[in-house]
Amino acid sequence: MKLKNLKTKFLGKNNLYYEKIDSTQSEIWRLTKKNIANGTLVMAGIQTNGLGTHGRKWYTDMENNIAFSFYIEANCNIKKIEGITIEIAETLVDIIKEKYNIKLEIKFPNDLIFNNKKIGGILTESKIIGEEVRFLIIGIGINTCQKEFNNEIKDIASSIKEEFNVEIDAEDIITEFCNCFEEKILKRIGK
């Protein structure tokens, strides 16, 4: 997928799109065993085994929901990335408010919610050696158009389409996120 209007130096420049994959997060981890470029982005239409926090599953079983993960070479002290997940959540909330006039809330530190129902989530993983973060792998899932949820989460999950009856342009949100977040991460890691 070509991300139109991408203005980054590295974040999202290399990207892979899968119509269907087990997990964008798992794919990035697999790519780290080979040769992965800094800023690589993996996006999916459907995830069959998406990852959430605390070993939970993230359900993405309809196309046009937002599901992507990205790889950042940090090589910095662990203190420089403290609070990164909440900063990502704030960035997403700001983008969705600006583009669609939709006000999501953050359930600290990694959930996007509306009306006490989860709309999105962020999974931040890293490789740390001693006090140094070598790299970050960050996954983002946003239910933009999901209509049905399995019994395990149907009372606690929703989508932007269900709550606001608004169509979200996933590619536009991902592009805008890359444009905004690259500057923030570079300030943190000092590159």
**pTM (2 d.p.):** 0.91
- pLDDT given at position 46: 84
Measured CA to CA, the distance from residue 44 to residue 161 in angstroms comes to 19
Euclidean distance between CA atoms 178 and 69, whole angstroms: 11
Going from the N-terminus, what domains does the chain have, and what CATH number goes with each?
A: 15-189 (3.30.930.10)
The model's pLDDT over 97-153, given as tens digits with 9 standing for 90+, comes to: 999 999 999 999 899 999 999 999 999 999 999 999 999 999 999 999 877 777 777
Burial (0-12, 13-18, 19+ Cβ within 10 Å), 54? exposed
Helix, strand or coil, per DSSP, at residue 108:
coil
Q: Which helix (H) or strand (E) holds 172?
A: helix 170-189
pLDDT for 25-42, tens place per residue? 999 999 999 989 999 999
pLDDT at 128: 95
Examine the pLDDT at 55 and tell me if it is beyond 60.
no
- The whole-number pLDDT of residue 99 equals 96
CA gap 160, 66 in Å, rounded:
11
